[in-house]
Structure 1
Amino acid sequence: MVQRPRAAGDRAQQMAEQQRYRVIKRLASGGMAEVFVAESAGIEGFKKRVAIKRVLPHLSKKDQFVAMFLDEARLSAQLSHSNVVSVFDIGVGDGAYFIVMEYVDGADLRNVNEHRKKLGKTIPVEAAVFICAKICQGLAYAHEVTTPDGVPLQIVHRDITPANVLMTKHGEVKIVDFGLAKATSQLAKSDPGIIKGKFGYLAPETVLESGVDHRVDIFAVGIMLWELLAGRRLFQGDTDFATVRLVRDAVIPPLSKINGDVPPELDALLGKTLAKDPSQRYSSARELGRDLVRFLYGFGRPVNEDDVASLVRSAMGTPAHHLDPTQKIAELIDLTLLEFKSLAKEESDGEGIDPGAVSLNLSFLGEPQGRARPGETETIELGGLADELEGPESMADNTDASRNTGWFSRWLR
């Protein structure tokens, strides 16, 4: 039996937990959660900047959602790799569940690519391949990671898109959001007809309901690499219906005919990455990553993290694309739930989960009560706004369709 979040402990415990994470500001809020920039405090002046993602209280009352959310959050917390955004902590406070994540100072791949397109350019071939090779390293780790006892965790991301690839100002490449697949699926099943959004990054087997595995992530990497070098979307119809048909058919135009800087060798590599039949695709992200690195050696143009850093800094220096360091993590809170506002009104009769080790009073999270002077931290207090907050409409582009696709084949008949 799932239990509802217990009331926070005594006052001393609440104060201690509040001191553990000092909130600096609210970044964003949406249909599922709100995200804050915070500092993790310790003894002798120890401080570490983090991002806190708090599930909105009305969703914390949904037993199945909470159970799946916590299961996958615990799973994500076991991931430790330089190309994966780390999850440091999960817990409950003030009647809501939260995740403490790595703070990423940079931009996401979507914004970097859009910035290049506004300049009338595509990302250089060597930089695009380098970025995708790093993504493959993170995916290979996640796909192959085991428990301390050697049991495979069999983690599949299922939402590899440019918005889910963060890049730091120092050129590091990190995948974000390994932790919401089951939880968001559970909500999606309640109202599948209103799913809309990123159909263009699905794999054909997802649309055809033929079963999915880690190779859907490989296909998504291929889509991203193709788009980075083509300067346009690969699967984008006039409607979501048309986009899904394009995904299903998986016709891949030769990239070398679109971008004269792309050699035939890369066309062949992409052909294997984007094979409609998963059995004809690369068998692992590690294998794809190795071939991408081999291509770079043969291509003959030096590339490293400095080249990625240059792209990131250029995008961040443009007002239209300047990002708060964790803005893109904030956008990810609505990957699947922005269109599920009707679900937010439902109440659960069950009782919430006790997350166990961590209990944090988050009543201090809320709207800033005025602007801080330079060098000061804004004092934030709870304003009881969580149930009223909605994410901006632009977040609708991040709605993830891959979590619940049982209606695709019926739709396409």
Structure 2
Amino acid sequence: MKNMNNTSRIRAIDAIKRKLVGHELSYEDSYAIMHEFSTGGLTDIFVAYFAAASFSAGYTDDELYNLTKAMVETGKKFTLKGIVADKHSIGGMPGTRASMIIVPIVAAAGYQIPKTSSRAITTPAGTADCMEVLAPVAIELEKAQAIVERIGCCIIWGGHLGIAPADDVIIRVEEPLSFESYDKVIISILAKKVAASSKYMVLDIPVGPSMKIRLVKDALRFRDAFTRIAQRFGIRVKADINFQYEPAGFGIGPNYETIDAVKVLAQTPDRSSDLEFKSIKLASEVLDLCFAADHRADDSLLVAEYLLKSGAAMKKFREIVKAQGGDGDFVIDRISVGNNKKEILAPHDGVVSGVNNFNITSLARLLGAPSDKLGGMVLQARMGQRIKKHDILLTMYTNSADKLREAVDTYTHMPVFELQV
């Protein structure tokens, strides 16, 4: 066994070295790398070199397939039957917690959607960070499978399941730099969808000046590569390329983004209409794929709207919270916010002509997000809105007075909103 482990480790190191100088990885190379990452056989320095290689050289379609397959095969897998769907956003935009709305809509329509989510990588909160505000997300695979078989869905942290464990190692190394290559994103997303038994998925690709993907041509290239590799695994993909210049919701950070999602599900008067629109649109696209597979002729958009507005999606969401060990009878107004807060006021009259999403992320992280779920902010201004001097632009929240002072000081040279006079 020791000799086998040494052989795998030596092969993995050699493969990473060869990739750094432009050589192509075989499946055997890919498996050795993923095996060593997932078992702790290689230190973080080798993980960092591997991540760097995906930037410097990129991967061929065969390499993407091999690395994805190896990532799946070195971890655990769901064994779900029937129509299994999913939605995934490539991320990069804070304050857009649509998955927590889409999952219960799709499940309420009668389809399985095991949402295995990541924690924040490049934003102040991931779906797992937000769901954890209301229910445990670190759930064993056997329990997660049982939950999906019973209620049709779950919203959990993929890092605790043991599926694609090498990906969690790579993410941990990448997280301090807040970056991922496009090829690495393809491998990461697809490995988890394959491991979750998903056969139908909607890929949300937001594009904008401060998004992970800034240009349409890059979004199209990413879509095409992702779709080609997904087809080799038997997954049907519908990609939604959309322009996004600001967060769809108001809240930034785990607790505040959770409040946004729950308000849409509960249809409160002060909910975000942008977040609702995006969620219904993407949910209808997931249902399009499910209906086609199920030979149903229903209008997916009307079904998605009905399930949300009738309360069926909220009822299903409460089922998810309860099934995962949370309080299914939670009250929105009792979701906590930070004890320390600061309102940022407009310095002059003007129209909001720009929103800097990079600065939103940086400020929210200074306030403690995502590790401190009470760190974050609520945005009061929107693109195109006419603002008067001393109107509230945003409110910062945290439990730390020191973090609040630092964030307020930083805002003076890292403003979120551009006001055109």
TM range (shorter): under 0.3
| More contact order relative to length (CA 8 Å, sep ≥ 6) | 1
TM-score, length-scaled by structure 2: 0.24
